[in-house]
Amino acid sequence: MASPNRPARLNRILLVLIGVVLLAGGVCILASALGAMPLLAPEAPVVSTVPPLAGWVPWVVAVVAVIVGLLCLRWLLAQTLRRAKTGTWQLSQNPRKGQTRLDTDTAAAPLVEEIETYPGVHRARARLAGTRAHPVLHLAVVTEDRADIRQVRHRIDAEAIPRMRQALELEHLDSDLLLRLGTAHSARTH
């Protein structure tokens, strides 16, 4: 399912574009300063109305462009790597009696199906991350414009999450909930 967080997606796209442009600019200036690109060499300008620059200026510009580009790429990685990883939980304590494994995406699927039946909910998405000893539930719910947000939140807190805790036999389940108002275009079709 695509992320409904359009500003974050736009943020990542713009950071990639800025990083690539700055890195390309830095590489071009560095190649020109080293004489690898004779067409851009300061000794043979096509049309020059600007006085020649000092010899250190292209190096400074190249270093600054590379640093800014790498910082943009690092920010992009920080955006994509901040999502908690899901995985597989080992449920059995004694390996001699057999192994029981639970895929966390599979464990979160019934919760999503339940929440999507609530009045006013267009769609839901859940990620169960962390270990079985320290689980974390990340839940994103898109509602209708006129949905009763308090009622949706109350049902999630009072019914859905406790039911999931009981089904998975968890003592505690830290969770974060992101509620978004949907539009006519985001409504699910069934």
Tracing tokens 């494994």 back to the chain, one arrives at 101
Model pTM above 0.75:
no
Mean pLDDT, all residues of the chain: 76
pLDDT at 2: 47
The 3-state DSSP class for residue 125 equals: strand
Tracing tokens 């292209």 back to the chain, one arrives at 58
How many angstroms separate the CA atoms of 156 and 118, rounded?
9
Q: What share of the chain has pLDDT > 70, as a percent?
A: 72
Write out the CATH class of domain 102-186. Answer: alpha beta
- DSSP symbol at 159: I
How many angstroms separate the CA atoms of 25 and 30, rounded?
8
